[in-house]
Amino acid sequence: MLVCVAACGQGKAIFNVDVYSYMAGTGKDTIQYFIPPATSDSASTVLKVSLPPGFGSSSVDSVKITTGNADLLNAGGTGSIGFSLYFAADSAGTYTAPAALSIPSTAVSGPDTVAVAITGDLSGIVDSLFKQNVLWVRIQAKGTNGGATLVSGKGVLTALLIRVVLQDKVF
């Protein structure tokens, strides 16, 4: 786990939670996709993230993805791939929670690598989850294929850094 802490005055603390560091080298940073012709489909990966103790007595000011990147390594076919992020207190909850962030679809065609930026403000949506010692994240790749050949490839997460600003009472 990589968490950086910084004081920012006025009784606030900033935590940078490197979610990608939990995934790197585990295979959970990669989502394979296979979308048959004239259909839509999705695939996802779920990850447990441990947070530093002491968040529970604090109030959360903001939660933002400050750095997030993925590469779409398309092997073939023409379609589009988007991402959604879900957060919950347990793994099962990531399948019933509303999307905390949806990244618009990106066009893919033929063998190609396409970079996708993943950033956004999660404040107000997942605040209470960042007051716990553990939270779960599900990253879903959603694709569409309007063509006549299979769209296949994989989405590979290359960075996901979440900045949490807490008010008072961290430790």
Residue ranges and CATH numbers for the domains of the chain are: 29-53+68-158 (2.60.120)
In angstroms, rounded to a whole number, what is the distance separating the alpha carbons of residues 34 and 49? 28
Locus of tokens 């994240």 = 137
Asked if residue 73 has pLDDT above 60, the reply is: yes
The model's confidence at residue 79, banded by pLDDT at 50, 70 and 90, is very high
Which tokens hold the place of 83? Answer: 């991402």
**Model's pTM, two decimal places?**
0.88
- Please compute the mean of the pLDDT values over residues 82-108 and round it to a whole number: 97
Mean pLDDT score of the chain: 91
pLDDT band at 10 (very low <50, low <70, confident <90, very high): low
Is the pLDDT confidence value at 169 over 90? no
Decide if pLDDT at 148 tops 70: yes
The rounded Cα 113 to chain-centroid distance in angstroms is 19
